[in-house]
């Protein structure tokens, strides 16, 4: 088991596009569902290690709005895995003080998933440890549409003036309201796409792409991503000299 190297800077908010389950399984000569099962173990490891490292928020892209287009058998298997994860990890989530949130079009999930998920969200709501966001039936464009519709309704009801709508107001109406924006976005399996994930929130996130497929992404790969993040110079529009105090 790897340990976090001393002195490594830990991001406040880590977002992960967990990619490559199906391709990993196919490469092993296995059904795609076996890749999702192996990926579930990576979820357990990463959640545990992020909590230990002091990450404040972890957002996992678990199931997108586009994923509903996959074969029914695969979607059904993914829903069963999600149901099992919620039940099996309930005790550890509560014991570790993790606050679980589910972001996305949660009402599209089948009842046998939605009920225990919502129950654990309620049970863990007062926990003050790491926030675990499961992005389920999630699409960032849909999230932005929901936010804009809510803001338009408030303007129509004269609860909000158009000139008062700024970046913070928009952020406050997103699914991730109340959380810091991601500092680090990790994508596994080598794909160079954002895939409709947290488009507003990752405006200044550092992006880390690894060729490792999600089922093989464990402690060592997570800590390498943290190490890479720590080596980045995050300027937010300023110069390096300004950050070091040497600018005239």
Choosing from 19, 21, 181, 183, which is the catalytic residue?
19
d(C-alpha 200, C-alpha 176), whole Å: 10
> Which of these, 213, 204, 150, 208, lies nearest to 177 by C-alpha position?
150
Give CA separation, 244 vs 204, 226, 235, 247, 248, in Å: 19, 22, 10, 8, 11
What does R_g of the chain's alpha carbons equal in angstroms?
19
Q: Is 67 a catalytic residue?
A: yes
Pairing label, strands 206-209, 184-187: parallel
Q: What is the dihedral of CA 198, 199, 204, 210, to 10 degrees?
A: 70
Give CA separation, 178 vs 168, 201, 219, in Å: 10, 12, 28
Q: Residue 103's beta-bridge partner residues? A: 135
Q: Is 19 a catalytic residue?
A: yes
> Which of these, 133, 97, 126, lies nearest to 14 by C-alpha position?
133
- Order of strands across the sheet that contains 184-187: 99-103, 131-138, 57-64, 13-17, 184-187, 206-209
Choosing from 21, 67, 107, 183, which is the catalytic residue?
67
**Alpha-carbon dihedral sign for residues 235, 240, 246, 248:** negative
Task: List active site positions.
Answer: 19, 67
């Amino acid at each position: 088991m790897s340990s976090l190297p001393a002195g490594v800077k830990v991001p406040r908010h880590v977002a992960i596009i967990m990619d490559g389950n199906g391709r990993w399984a196919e490469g092993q000569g296995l059904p795609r569902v076996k890749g999702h099962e192996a990926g579930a173990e990576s979820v357990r490891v990463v959640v545990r290690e992020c909590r230990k490292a002091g990450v404040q928020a972890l957002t996992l892209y678990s199931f997108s709005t586009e994923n509903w287009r996959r074969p029914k058998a695969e979607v059904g298997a993914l829903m069963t895995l999600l149901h099992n994860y919620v039940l099996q990890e309930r005790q550890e989530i509560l014991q570790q003080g993790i606050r679980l949130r589910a972001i996305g079009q949660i009402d599209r999930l089948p009842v046998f998933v939605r009920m225990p998920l919502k129950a654990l969200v309620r049970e863990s709501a007062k926990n003050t440890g790491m926030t675990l966001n499961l992005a389920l039936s999630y699409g960032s464009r849909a999230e932005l549409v929901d936010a804009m519709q809510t803001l338009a309704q408030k303007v129509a009801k004269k609860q909000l003036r158009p000139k008062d709508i700024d970046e913070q107001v928009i952020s406050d109406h997103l699914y991730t309201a109340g959380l810091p924006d991601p500092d680090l976005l990790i994508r596994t399996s080598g794909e160079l796409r954002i895939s409709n994930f947290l488009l507003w929130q990752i405006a200044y996130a550092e992006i880390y792409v690894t060729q490792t497929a999600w089922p093989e992404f464990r402690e060592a790969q997570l800590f390498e991503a943290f190490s890479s993040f720590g080596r980045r110079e995050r300027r937010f529009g300023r110069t390096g000299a300004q950050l070091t105090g040497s600018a005239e």
